[in-house]
Structure 1
Amino acid sequence: WGFYYDIDREGDFLILGQTGGVLVLEVKGGALRRLWTTGRWEGPDRDHPVTQLLAEWGAVIDRLRQQADRGEMPFVSKALCLPEVDLNPSVSSYKGIDRALIIDRGDLAAFELTWVRLFANQHRTSSKKERKIFLDSFAREILPKAVKQFISETDRIILRHTTAEYQVLDMLRANRQLLVQGGAGSGKTWLALEQAFRFADEGLKVLLLCYNIALANQLSALVKKRKLWNGEVIVRSWEGLARELLNAAGVGWDDPISPADREHYFGEVVPTLMYEIVRDKQFEPRFDALVVDEGQDHDTCWPGSESDNTDSGWWEIYWALLREKTNGRMAIFYDQAQRPLFRHSERFDVNRVSKHLSQPAHVNLLFTLRYSLPIFRFLKTLQSEATKCLIENLRSRTTPPEGPDVELHEVEPDQTVAKLAEVAGRWVSNGFCQVDEILILSPHSTRAKSCLANYSQIGDWPLVTIDDRKPGSLAFLSVNKAKGLDALGVIMIDVEQFDNLAAPQDQINYFMGASRARQLLAILHKTGS
């Protein structure tokens, strides 16, 4: 996995050998290519591969030396790995690089012999102190070792399954407009992000739109980490886009308090204002492509016009933002079953969108990718008429990876905080996760309405909003604001047992909260429920 050898410079692999020594391994895909007339090497950084390797090697030595504080430290070797290249054993150099510095495909296949070659002059094994220096320098969070490695590998398996679905985008790359349907955990958000990057790679200015603010903040953080050589990806939540349009037009922003006033303001007043703004003859569209995640949360009709099939609701606003309007590049990811009942499910119909597009291609993501086996099986047990479609969309191409059992606890209201601290503390001390990888979910809209209303700390950890989450803190979020998000660990509170829930929306909330967890899930049921 990657490691940072400087604040903004990441290396590929750092290997501590069983027989002693540390290897800095810089990996390059394909064959090395250099245009000799300019001296530039192919790749995003265009640095000489050995220059990169030497920078990593020197930084690792400096970090170990600082940690050792003049004591013994492991010997550090270095190599440039070319896993797709087979070199003739008789050559002494490749592209001007000393063969002794290179690990090719054959060297990887015989890695133990390669290790001996790289450390030929070092015959002693690392002492426990040297090993500790290495772990303290680059792997402070590795203990308890076995559990942490298992959990990390499971997350890598889940990520591999998810990124493997990018082949769907490869197969559909000739289509200008995509309508992609997929259930919970099917990888829609990752595909939406990847498609936005692909549009940007074509030099397009892309609007990546989602409904909830927490997801928009997460997507914005991911976009910032990606180096884009062409184009641009602009992430907006629905509210963020609305504020931007209204502010630019000099229209004030209200923030109603009562539920009825909020529903009227955000469901009717704001969309109408947005529509009027983009219809103005002075309005200039500034985007070339549109990507929408959780598309089912965006109304396809105006209030009162549910039976009128001629309009497309909010989508008429979005198309006005595109230079090519309904002929523009688009990718819309949605799941009708995840539309909350209180948002009027009849106000989203994908056909109202597709019939206005010039060339939509419809895609259905069939398989669930996000969950460990225990969580996948638990979600399948949450059967009701309200969750029927959600359950039907849970399908696994292969057996999901193993993981910890789902925890179900009966808790008195005044003992919820103590139980929260116990579960989170146990997960952390056992090596399952870091505390900031845990998300506390409640069906209540705000923390003030939850059983944590009067708490700012759980155990030793500050209790914060997801936007304020930092290392060493626990984040709280409403289930209804967590759509599109996931977490390594989820602890759900303020809920009754699923079989005792009568209201369809409560059953959906229970499923949606539990489905945010990838590997660790604990549900604290209210005693007596």
Structure 2
Amino acid sequence: MIAHPDQGLLIVETKGGRISLDGEGRWYSGSQLMTRSPFEQAEDSKRHLVNKLMELPEWSSGKPRAGHAVAFPSVDLASLGSGRHQLGTGAPTELVLDGAALATDEAARDWVAGAFDYWVGDGAGAGRPLGQNAMLLLHRLLAPVAELRPLLRRELDEAEESVITLTRGQVRALATIRGLRRAAIVGPAGSGKTLVAAEMAQRFVAEGYETLLVCFNQPLARMLAEHAAGAVVSGRLTVSTFHELCRRLGHEAGVIGGEPALKDQDWFDRVLPGALDAAIPTVGGRYQAVIVDEGQDFHRSWLESLDLLLSAPGEDVLFVFHDPSQALYREDPLASEEVRSSLALTPLSMLDNCRNSATVHELAARFYTGEGPITALREDGRRPDVIVAAEGAQTLEALRRVLHRLVVEEQVAPWRIAVLSGHSHSESAVWRQGRFGNQVLWNGNYGPDGRSLGLSADQVVEQPSDTILFDTIRRFKGLEREMVVLV
């Protein structure tokens, strides 16, 4: 979006790669078919933004001057040949920002001026100039200042309230998302995807949308439900893991029978997703917005099933937050342009790490395989301690010493600490030992033998404050604890 107090608004839809248009009016980016003309998308975004502005109580200027255009930065209009001034119906070349127009600052300024002139000459100039007050309102609409309380993080000091202020990257993501209905948002651990997903869900509820917030991981679902408790109580927000959603809707539709006492992988990979598909003719269409966190852990078919729960599949609100570097169970389906296109999801990125200190970020960033570079916004924090110990008894003794130092010498409350393992609970020597000096490990989802208790998120008892959480790397979510011991 380009805004000028006198010229008005110019909304520019950007498409990368080689752009082509066939004789049937179909647009392609590379070999991928676009769902709609980029000019139509730009016009819809313009209309949406103008309506949002005019809905503001402080807006009193009437309909603003506004035009739309497209940007194809990877192509050159000169390849069309001389005399060609249209790319199709409603697609004049004067409204195409190509690579040549981006070659210099002067060329870019000339193109912007020409695009504004096009719309003024076409009658759009009949709208009102924005003026400085409207520019301020526009900035407030698209770059709101907001605060989110940390997800299930306790205050380090009870005398001070700890809050997470949305970083510039999160504000940018929220501002961009406000003008979209469907997007795939990629970002590394610590970029705030979960907080933004929760905030977006609550905003849609506030606007009257029946909203589903769904994730893969049970502990995360529990955190999200507590974080958005007000919206959940209102009845307009459903928070669930994908498999719990399958189970609940399957029972509601009467398409799922008795559940086995011991559930194997086939139960989660085939039976429950199949129950959701069978239930859709009965329960589909109940939501106007679906927001997915941990999208990298979903099968493509699961995302397609969630889309069918919308009242208008393919059109209603669908946002999927994902990180290919955290794809623990299968390849991230959203890494495929074809999958994003089939679900009509616009790709967006959140590339600021607002959670970790620079030292922790430096240690972890080497394993990130998504887009980059990633910037760590926090500069504080200690360097991570790396303790070398032989497998077995030496590792268990090293863990005992670390926990003693944290709790006794540095006075860190036990519930602020998590011990994480790459082994499952049933295979972990750490979990089997359970007690390290005076420090006791806890996980309400598992018995002493490491077997799952089969509890839903609302059945797990609250962790005693004098215990230390033990969990697997796969299940743990970064916002759960401030201190992590990886063993």
TM exceeding 0.5: yes
For residues 271 and 315 of structure 2, the distance between their equivalents in structure 1, rounded to whole angstroms, comes to 28
Residue 376 (structure 2) pairs with residue 376 (structure 1): no
Residue 465 in 1 paired to residue 443 in 2? yes
Is the contact between residue 204 and residue 231 of structure 1 (CA under 8 Å) also seen in structure 2? no
Give the C-alpha shift of residue 178 in structure 1.
2.4
1:99 counterpart residue number:
none
1:193 aligns to 2:187 (yes or no): no
List per-residue Cα deviations over 1:24-63 (Å, max 9, x = no partner).
xxxxxxxxxxxxxxxxxxxxxxxxxxxxxxxxxxxxxxxx
| Structure 2 counterpart of 1:297 | 297
Match of 2:387 among 398, 405, 408: 408
Task: Name the CA distance, whole Å, in 2 between partners of 1:161 and 1:394.
Answer: 20
Contact 1:411 1:419 in 2 (8 A): no
Q: Which amino acid aligns with 1:450?
A: S
Structure 2 partner of 1:454: 432
Hey, what does 2:403 align to over in structure 1?
A: 424
Change (3 A) 1:474 1:152: farther
Residue matched to 1:336: 324
**Are 2:213 and 1:215 equivalent residues in the alignment?**
no
RMSD: 3.3
For residue 122 of structure 2, what is the aligned residue in structure 1?
none
Secondary structure of the corresponding residue to residue 423 of structure 1: helix
For residue 403 of structure 1, give the secondary structure of its aligned residue in structure 2: coil
Counterparts in 2 of 1:212-361, with a 5 A limit? 212-224=217-229, 226=230, 232-250=236-254, 251-252=256-257, 254-255=259-260, 262-278=264-280, 280=281, 282-300=282-300, 313-340=301-328, 343-345=329-331, 349-357=335-343, 360-361=345-346
How many angstroms apart in 2 are the aligned matches of 1:429 and 1:478?
25
Q: State the one-letter code of the partner of 1:274.
A: L
Aligned 1:31-42 pairs, distance under 5 A: none
CA distance in 2, matches of 1:164, 1:434: 32
Contact 2:354 2:378 in 1 (8 A): no
Alpha-carbon deviations, 1:278-332, whole Å to 9, x = none? Answer: 1x3x3353222111001111111xxxxxxxxxxxx11221122111222111221
CA distance in 2, matches of 1:160, 1:456: 37
1:180, 1:331 within 8 Å by CA — same for their partners in 2?
yes
CA shift digits 1:392-424 (9 cap, x unpaired): 646215463232543323155124444333212
1:240, CA displacement in angstroms?
A: 1.1
- CA shift for structure 1 position 229: 9.7
Q: Paired residue for 1:95?
A: none
Distance 1:193 1:349 in 2: 22
Deviation at 1:208, TM superposition (A): 0.4
1-structure distance, mates of 2:442, 2:168: 31
After TM superposition, list the pairs within 5 Å mapping 1:115-134 onto structure 2.
none
* Kept in 2: contact 1:375–1:406 (CA 8 A): no
Question: d(CA) in 2 for partners of 1:476 and 1:331?
Answer: 31
Cα distance change of structure 1 residues 456 and 245 upon mapping to structure 2, 3 Å threshold = same
Q: Name 1:439's counterpart in structure 2.
A: 418
Structure 1 residues 181 and 348: alpha-carbon distance in aligned structure 2, compared to 1, 3 A threshold: closer
Query: Residue 348 and residue 331 in structure 1: after superposition, are their counterparts in 2 closer, same or farther (change >3 A)?
Result: closer
Q: 2: distance between equivalents of 1:394 and 1:430?
A: 38
Shift of residue 461, structure 1, vs aligned partner: 3.6
Deviations 1:177-210 (A, max 9, x none): 2221111211111111111111111011211000
Distance in 2, Cα, partners of 1:394 & 1:420: 34
SS at match of 1:275: helix
For normalisation by structure 2, the TM-score amounts to 0.58
String of CA shifts for 1:225-270, please: whole Å, max 9, x gaps: x46897732110112112112222331354585xxx8333322232
Query: Cα 1:379–1:349, aligned 2, differ >3 Å: closer, same or farther?
Result: closer
The percentage of counterpart residues that share the same residue type is 25
Q: When the two structures are aligned, how many residues end up with a matched partner? A: 317
2: CA distance, partners of 1:438 / 1:208: 27
- CA distance in 1 between counterparts of 2:340 and 2:368 reads 25
Alpha-carbon distance, 1:452 to partner: 2.5
Q: Tell me the residue number matched to 1:524.
A: none
* Counterpart position of 1:475: 469
- C-alpha change, 1:432 and 1:288, in structure 2 (3 Å) is farther
AA aligned to 1:345 is: E
Are the equivalent residues in 1 in contact too, given 2:333–2:339 (CA < 8 A)? no
Runs of at least 5 residues in structure 2 that lack an aligned partner in the other structure: 1-153, 445-459
